[in-house]
Structure 1
Amino acid sequence: MKQQFLHENWEMRQIGNDEFLPAAVPGSVYGDLLSNGKMENPFWKDNENDACELMEEDYEYVSHFDCEDGLLDSDRVVLRFDGIDTVGDVYLNEIHLGSPLSMHRVWEYDVKEILHDKDNELKVILHSPNKWIREAFKKCRTLGNDDTFEGFVHLRKAHYMFGWDWGAHLPDAGIFRPVSLLGINTARIDSVYIKQTHERTGETEPGTVRPITKSVTLTFDVEQEVVGNAERGPKLKNITGGHTCKKCGKAYTYTVEITAPDGSKTLYENSPVEVKIDDPKLWWPNGYGEQNLYEVKVTLFSDGVALDEWTRRIGLRTMTMHIEKDEWGECFAHQVNGVDVFAMGADYIPEDNLLGRVNPETTRKLLEKAKFANYNAIRVWGGGYYPSDWFYDICDEMGLMVWQDFMFACAVYELTPEFEANIRQEFIENVKRLRHHASLGLWCGNNEMEQFVFERNSWLTKPSEVKDYFLMFERIIPEIVHEYDPQTFYWPASPSSGGCLDEPNDPNRGDVHYWKVWHGNRPFTEYRKYFFRYLSEFGFQAFPSVKTIEQFTDNEEDMNPFSYIMEKHQRQYSANGKIMGYMQQTYKYPNSFPTFVYASQLLQADGIRYGVEHFRRNRGRCMGAVYWQLNDCWPVISWSSVDYCGRLKALHYYAKRFFAPLMISCEEQGMMSSEANMNREHFVFEKSIRLNVANETMQDQNVTVRWALRDPGAAVLESGEQELTVPALTSTWLDKVEFPDADIFSHYVSYELICDGKVVSEGTVNFSYPKYFRYEDPELTCRVEGDEIVVSAKAYAKSVEILNENEDLVLEDNYFDLNANEKRVKVISGSTENLRLRSVYDIR
């Protein structure tokens, strides 16, 4: 099959304007207007308003091209758009081909009879999405998320573009994925589905709990699309094992070539139905084993002539959700190769409001940060769009299990015949596109619809919307997943207990979205009251770095939490006040805006740490902690741990520690866990610690735990040490230690975990609120030695931050505690000139 990409010689214009501008394809309207100086940076101050107005207009994209030699000699020529966003009309040589109405689909048109050898004109009209959804809403007042424009539910376009409580109203449009001509002779491969059957020995690898797999049998299901006659068009045929057409007599066969992780190749001829791989190299999530990938190439032949190739990388693994009744209710855990895995990661939203800026390099940089923080899982949230193939390729390489939502979120939908036909094709195409990926952990129907729409009766306007919900998420999608990807688990919604409106946020079954901390204003210790089976959303907001804030304002007056511009880049109403409320509970009033930013990031980091450490201490009962959210799509105050500019908030460094495979944590009892008024007569609380070691590795670990009660100068007042063995994939509690005579304002506890002679995890806890602790000035200093920064403190220093001038330093560790000692930190990237340090002592 021949392929000619049509990415050159594009121009665009606003309809009604005669001036054509150079355009980038793949790309977007906003990207082209920006590069041509026809709009201001939409992220700057409140330029979002003007940018949104630009999408009240229609835009025209035009390209002229010649056909490559031999293309028109093909039996069939297809014009293929891998992604058009999204209300469009497509013309080739002034012939109208169709009207794309979904950015979640591929659009193809037969064009052999329309094409010329030379000087073809391809034109795409992109209509205003704003006008389209307004008209749709007038006809059908279906409701959804209040942060978005009315009518967004009717258009198969990424919902976040119309606004969210972290996202701007920037409904970009464009030809955002490749466009090409395909020259097809006789037939092409439509799809290849590979089922896996694993034969295990019943034994485990020496010294581990990792099961041994003797062999993996791959079963191939190969479908081809045969060029049909003019009246009937192309036809799909399953040719698994080979096929001879009774009408034309053509014999269709295929070969399978498999390249193992070590580079060795094996060719299987004669249309194999099954291929057996002995002594397989398995794929494992990050932290549990290697991410071995096999390349599979299927070549389609007709009477000995090669017609088409299908090449993908797969991982040899089994992956499902382990759901079984137990003493607490019903477990819900990723099970990979027979091993229950504790999911650790975050929710992923689209990387940018301007689609043309997202590419394999930007995605790789982001996902590298996820692996840096010891993620093994990532949830693709349902209000965006299905990521490009490279996203999943990178997840395969990095061992990130993907929880994949279908693209529905926080709304109800009108299931008209036209809408149903549109989404059915969307589901089929995306399931077939993504099902081979080793990282694909499960399919999920939607985000928060079962919980909010039906448990809380949000957005419902008529009974038919309930019927349509059940049809979409408990019939249509599961039927399609069962037909096209039967070996991947399907879950109807997030959160859910399994569907049928059966207590969708039940803490003892399924997955949970927990927001009493943050939305409910509950203290961080509230997490300890719950033992959820799997958290797929929970979070806390923080400001991005000052340098990122400078991406949307340069005015000192704007750098105030309650200024117009700052709240324009804070999409949850009153959230900056919520941050201040939690800050009042925890820290002294910051004396500058940069200090406020620092304090907000510590609040976020500690809030999520309280939750994750608690849930990891209860491994087995809880089997997932996926926080909201990994990234941003524009510079904004949000729940992300990596801001829009790629800078790491304190939370991301905390995540590296609380997602570490081997981790020590402390369940302290003190002022923060008492929830009492300190001014009341009988404000009495326990002062104690109980340490826990979580071992999310495949081996038993022999470790040493040390703790010390210290004064503000970090002098040791009391200490303890214990050696223990922590079994693989468990957490182990140590005995409680009480400190009845400790001074809550001047005594704190440090603790550390030693394995193979190295400190692999450590931390400190206070018995008072941090704002009341009588810190001494740690007189922080640092020096640079090669690729390391050596930080020194003369007293207890809590949450030591190391920044460079551009605030883009990436370090092996940051926001750590020092006990009047020094710490060597490896520099991963960024300049080490003009370093500055601070700790909680400086929040004053």
Structure 2
Amino acid sequence: MKKKIELNNNWHFKIGDEITGYIQFKKWKKCVVPGTVHTDLLKLGLIEDPFYEDNELELRWISDSDWIYRNVFDYPDEFEKESPVILVFDGLDTIAEARLNNESIGKFDNMFRRYEIDITSRLKEKNNELEIKFGSPTKFAKSQEEKYGKMYVELNTERVYTRKAQYSFGWDWGPYFPTMGIWKPIYLLQKTNASITNLKFSTINISENKAMVEITNNIEGVEGSNFILDISLSLDDKVIIKKSVTKVSNESRVRIEINNPKLWWPCCSGSQPLYNLTVKLINENKQVIDVKTKKVGVRIVKLLLKENGNNTFKFLINNKEIFIRGANWIPPDSFLSRVTKDKYLKLLSLAKKANCNMIRVWGGGVYEQDFFYELCDWLGLLVWQDFMFTCGSYPDDSRFLENVKNEVIQNVERLQYHPSISLWCGNNECEWLWYQNIDKDIKKLPGYKIYHELIPDILNEIDPMLNYWSSSPFGNDEDPNDQSSGNTHQWNIWSNWVDYSEVKNDNSLFVSEFGFQAPANIETWEDALQKENLQCNNSLFAFHNKQVKGQERIFQFLSENLPISNEWNDFIYLTQLNQGLALKTCIEHWRSHSLRTNGAIIWQLNDCWPAVSWSIIDSDLKPKLSYYFVRDVFLPQIISFSNEDSCVKLNLNNHCKEETFYGFLKVHIIRQQTGEIIEEYEEKVSLNGHKNNVIYNVSTSKLDKYSNYVLLASLFNEKSELVYRNFYIKQKWKHIKLPKPTIDVKFESKPDTGYICLRSDLPSFFVDIHHPHLNFSDRGFILLPGEEKKIKIVNNSEVPVTTDKIKLFVLNNYLDS
């Protein structure tokens, strides 16, 4: 059996000897592996918090310097003396040379690759000294740019010369921290003469009660010997299938038919059963010499691009249409070693609770850790996986292509078995930006062959069952972002200064990026800025919005839709509310046109630092107000409005594929100035799965006699539980006058948790709740008089919960008549 000894302890680091100055950093200091130079310096108290105020500007010297890591280890007692010893680097960031006992053993230039080095002949019994020198990524990138020429690249142009997380060079939502260090584990490995090097799993086809799967084993060292492969699939601790392979070669493909398979589905469409796949390599003495295990799911994913002769962009899971409700994922920290399993779990669980069924791993970050994809399998989150190229041209010389080839092979082989992986995508926005800014012929794009030749050729060889899409956005038209084919990025809204109300003109087949900015939550800013800088016009607050003229857009779009307040807490509430209304409006539009539009993926789920950005969850893992708007509009059943044929039509959209919805609709007409409910209607409703039908009409002549009104629609299920509530107004909210409500707040304690109960005397719009030590299960809701709203609370400290710490925000209070 393989033996593995981790080398993640007893590391020391220092600045490079040739760097002048920085005397205090020239002595060896303890460090953490996996980690980064920045986080090690921070832990030692040698630098201030990189995220605090504008400390980013004071820390650029770190990336401009070389750093050396050192470890001393003995030959492991567990290892055999006569067998080779392999040194494995799972991830080095990025430009590095390793030396063992003062001899060079390798140079490295790709943080996305795993490196194995046979060090058998260089090992001593005691005190083996391993040194890894990390070269400055900024100096390396600039030197390559000077040597080979500046290419068309958005943001920092030199970044494309390094196979490194591109966002680390700064993005329009993140700071400039090109990191260095051992960002993944290091270990010694001793293999047996024969071993399983890779295990792949694919679902070939499914029928009503059968599934054909293929298991591919890559094996080394089996030539000329008699080996057996024992393969078993089990579910819920029960062995379903066992099979033995007696003719074992370097690549053994085995097809197995499963009777009555339990299919894996994305969340909200079914369950996520995971089979245990175990493969044992057995020698002629019947000894098990290697074992590989994986959790796999039986499912088929298809991307449909034509339907009835027309262009489409539709995901079919197990031959059933799925409307994609997704969010874009960026690395959750500028310093990747701080992204713990707990952080992954919290963020992805929040995505599922927001009724997302897809996560797009954006191409400017990293191929995520194994645990990320394991969680997506378990939670039922489909993964759209970009390869790590974004927003620019890339070198395509033979050396660069060979580096990329190894990167792609390693990561596809590592990830392909996950049932959550639903699409490989070549890059983010490279062709589109070239088309927009340089040349209408996208084939002239440097790097074009990476996405249209190299990657698809590799995938055809090692993962032919899964779909590949060359870029996002992309399609069949001259403009890669044309709405007539493929997928689009909707950035006229926000980035091109167009308001979200204009989404009504979007006719995309599938939208894989759209978004709207808002600041992080109040408590997050209190840890990022001094108290005197907590002001909406403060320059340090603006420093945390990395988009050019991002703050100007915040103010413009706020003034276009909502009242403005410069008071800090009010400003946070109103801008987060505006973001929520924007995302809600866009998603409602695309869901109501789901016969054409087949999915919407929000930019973006999360943040990497305290920011004003497009995220719906801030860097402290606290949902913004917009998160709750997204959660609700991604529900299986929603109500939307359309004004046509002299009627305001209420449309019920039911995305439950197999279920007919039964319930009832309540309609309220509310007089704006007084909050009086003028008329109220109730109607039973039902709708089959995957339908979008008009379920109620209100004549515009009836509404017009009330002049200024709010039309409110509330959908209830058969248990009289509120499912969805929506509003219709003719004016923008900033032009409406509403009376201030009185909202009664009470706490209700139960053994396992607590609740806050709210009652209002008037219709209250977009109620938000703030407490310095609590999170709430719901925010931004509409409360009608006579209703009790019970909200689960989560106490984040030992501080007693009291009502005097509760602060309510209600849009009415800014629209007082």
Look up the match of 1:810.
776
Task: Give the Å deviation of 1:464.
Answer: 11
- 1:401-800 to 2 correspondences below 5 Å: 401-457=382-438, 466=444, 468-498=446-476, 502-556=478-532, 558-667=533-642, 688-712=648-672, 713-740=674-701, 741-742=703-704, 746-757=708-719, 758-786=721-749, 787-800=754-767
Residues 1:3 and 2:11 aligned together: no
SS at 1:251's partner residue? coil
Q: In the TM superposition, what whole-angstrom CA distance separates every residue of 1:442-466 from its partner, at most 9, and x where no partner exists?
A: 00000011111124427x9xx9982
Uncovered stretches (5+) of structure 2, i.e. residues with no partner: 18-24, 247-252
User: Structure 1 125/465 Cα, relative in aligned 2: closer, same or farther at 3 Å?
Assistant: farther
Question: Does the CA contact (< 8 Å) of 2:413 and 2:462 recur in 1?
Answer: yes
Question: Does the CA contact (< 8 Å) of 2:67 and 2:135 recur in 1?
Answer: yes
Look up the match of 2:45.
37
What is the alpha-carbon distance in structure 2 between the residues aligned to residue 160 and residue 464 of structure 1? 24
Task: Give the Å deviation of 1:269.
Answer: 2.8
What is the alpha-carbon distance in structure 2 between the residues aligned to residue 344 and residue 582 of structure 1? 25
Question: Does the CA contact (< 8 Å) of 2:201 and 2:296 recur in 1?
Answer: no
Candidates 274, 278, 294, aligned match of 1:293: 274
- 1:132-171 to 2 correspondences below 5 Å: 132-148=140-156, 150-171=157-178
Residues 1:218 and 2:193 aligned together: no
For residue 92 of structure 2, what is the amino acid of its counterpart? I
Task: Give the Å deviation of 1:432.
Answer: 0.4
User: Structure 1 513/256 Cα, relative in aligned 2: closer, same or farther at 3 Å?
Assistant: same
Q: In the TM superposition, what whole-angstrom CA distance separates every residue of 1:404-454 from its partner, at most 9, and x where no partner exists?
A: 000000010121111011000000001100000010010000001111112
Look up the match of 2:813.
842
Task: Give the Å deviation of 1:714.
Answer: 4.3
What is the alpha-carbon distance in structure 1 between the residues aligned to residue 68 and residue 790 of structure 2? 53
Question: Does the CA contact (< 8 Å) of 1:663 and 1:761 recur in 2?
Answer: yes
Task: Give the Å deviation of 1:88.
Answer: 0.3
User: Structure 1 828/300 Cα, relative in aligned 2: closer, same or farther at 3 Å?
Assistant: farther
Task: Give the Å deviation of 1:567.
Answer: 1.7
SS at 1:667's partner residue? strand
Question: Does the CA contact (< 8 Å) of 2:647 and 2:697 recur in 1?
Answer: no
Q: In the TM superposition, what whole-angstrom CA distance separates every residue of 1:478-529 from its partner, at most 9, and x where no partner exists?
A: 001111110110000000115xx63311213211101121122223221112
Candidates 801, 805, 809, aligned match of 2:768: 801
User: Structure 1 12/265 Cα, relative in aligned 2: closer, same or farther at 3 Å?
Assistant: farther
Question: Does the CA contact (< 8 Å) of 1:26 and 1:356 recur in 2?
Answer: yes
Task: Give the Å deviation of 1:745.
Answer: 7.1
Question: Does the CA contact (< 8 Å) of 2:487 and 2:511 recur in 1?
Answer: yes
What is the alpha-carbon distance in structure 2 between the residues aligned to residue 467 and residue 649 of structure 1? 38
For residue 325 of structure 1, what is the amino acid of its counterpart? E
User: Structure 1 86/794 Cα, relative in aligned 2: closer, same or farther at 3 Å?
Assistant: same
What is the alpha-carbon distance in structure 1 between the residues aligned to residue 85 and residue 498 of structure 2? 61
Look up the match of 1:15.
16
Q: In the TM superposition, what whole-angstrom CA distance separates every residue of 1:368-396 from its partner, at most 9, and x where no partner exists?
A: 11011011001000011110101100000
What is the alpha-carbon distance in structure 1 between the residues aligned to residue 432 and residue 470 of structure 2? 11
- 1:53-64 to 2 correspondences below 5 Å: 53-64=61-72
For residue 313 of structure 2, what is the amino acid of its counterpart? F
What is the alpha-carbon distance in structure 1 between the residues aligned to residue 655 and residue 192 of structure 2? 56
For residue 601 of structure 1, what is the amino acid of its counterpart? Q
What is the alpha-carbon distance in structure 2 between the residues aligned to residue 265 and residue 618 of structure 1? 43
Task: Give the Å deviation of 1:199.
Answer: 3.7
Look up the match of 1:380.
361
Question: Does the CA contact (< 8 Å) of 1:284 and 1:290 recur in 2?
Answer: yes
Question: Does the CA contact (< 8 Å) of 2:512 and 2:601 recur in 1?
Answer: yes
What is the alpha-carbon distance in structure 1 between the residues aligned to residue 786 and residue 626 of structure 2? 23
What is the alpha-carbon distance in structure 2 between the residues aligned to residue 822 and residue 708 of structure 1? 14
User: Structure 1 464/452 Cα, relative in aligned 2: closer, same or farther at 3 Å?
Assistant: closer
What is the alpha-carbon distance in structure 2 between the residues aligned to residue 760 and residue 464 of structure 1? 47
* Further displaced range: 154-163 or 16-25: 16-25
What is the alpha-carbon distance in structure 2 between the residues aligned to residue 146 and residue 549 of structure 1? 29
Query: Number of matched residues?
Result: 787
Uncovered stretches (5+) of structure 1, i.e. residues with no partner: 202-213, 227-243, 670-684
Task: Give the Å deviation of 1:573.
Answer: 1.5
What is the alpha-carbon distance in structure 1 between the residues aligned to residue 60 and residue 813 of structure 2? 41
Question: Does the CA contact (< 8 Å) of 1:403 and 1:443 recur in 2?
Answer: yes
Task: Give the Å deviation of 1:687.
Answer: 8.2
What is the alpha-carbon distance in structure 1 between the residues aligned to residue 633 and residue 133 of structure 2? 50
For residue 7 of structure 2, what is the amino acid of its counterpart? L
Give the share of equivalent positions with the same residue, in percent. 29
Q: In the TM superposition, what whole-angstrom CA distance separates every residue of 1:697-723 from its partner, at most 9, and x where no partner exists?
A: 421222322212112454332233333
For residue 301 of structure 2, what is the amino acid of its counterpart? M
For residue 522 of structure 2, what is the amino acid of its counterpart? V
Q: In the TM superposition, what whole-angstrom CA distance separates every residue of 1:252-311 from its partner, at most 9, and x where no partner exists?
A: 321112221355465433358232221111100000000111111111223233222211
SS at 1:720's partner residue? strand
SS at 1:721's partner residue? strand
Look up the match of 1:50.
58
Question: Does the CA contact (< 8 Å) of 1:287 and 1:697 recur in 2?
Answer: no
Question: Does the CA contact (< 8 Å) of 1:374 and 1:656 recur in 2?
Answer: yes
Question: Does the CA contact (< 8 Å) of 1:704 and 1:753 recur in 2?
Answer: yes
SS at 1:324's partner residue? strand
What is the alpha-carbon distance in structure 2 between the residues aligned to residue 409 and residue 185 of structure 1? 41
What is the alpha-carbon distance in structure 1 between the residues aligned to residue 193 and residue 651 of structure 2? 68
What is the alpha-carbon distance in structure 1 between the residues aligned to residue 351 and residue 705 of structure 2? 39
User: Structure 1 696/39 Cα, relative in aligned 2: closer, same or farther at 3 Å?
Assistant: same
What is the alpha-carbon distance in structure 1 between the residues aligned to residue 450 and residue 151 of structure 2? 17
What is the alpha-carbon distance in structure 2 between the residues aligned to residue 142 and residue 726 of structure 1? 57
User: Structure 1 621/115 Cα, relative in aligned 2: closer, same or farther at 3 Å?
Assistant: same
Candidates 270, 280, 283, aligned match of 2:264: 283
What is the alpha-carbon distance in structure 2 between the residues aligned to residue 464 and residue 100 of structure 1? 31
What is the alpha-carbon distance in structure 1 between the residues aligned to residue 137 and residue 388 of structure 2? 17
Look up the match of 1:825.
790
Candidates 290, 296, 299, aligned match of 1:317: 299
Look up the match of 2:22.
none
Question: Does the CA contact (< 8 Å) of 2:654 and 2:689 recur in 1?
Answer: no
Task: Give the Å deviation of 1:467.
Answer: 5.9
Candidates 380, 387, 391, aligned match of 1:399: 380
What is the alpha-carbon distance in structure 2 between the residues aligned to residue 74 and residue 45 of structure 1? 56
Look up the match of 2:89.
81
What is the alpha-carbon distance in structure 1 between the residues aligned to residue 685 and residue 586 of structure 2? 25
What is the alpha-carbon distance in structure 1 between the residues aligned to residue 445 and residue 571 of structure 2? 49
The runs of at least 4 consecutive aligned structure 1 residues that moved more than 4 Å come to 262-266, 743-746
Question: Does the CA contact (< 8 Å) of 1:23 and 1:32 recur in 2?
Answer: yes
What is the alpha-carbon distance in structure 1 between the residues aligned to residue 301 and residue 82 of structure 2? 41
Question: Does the CA contact (< 8 Å) of 2:195 and 2:281 recur in 1?
Answer: yes
Task: Give the Å deviation of 1:71.
Answer: 1.6
What is the alpha-carbon distance in structure 2 between the residues aligned to residue 627 and residue 464 of structure 1? 26
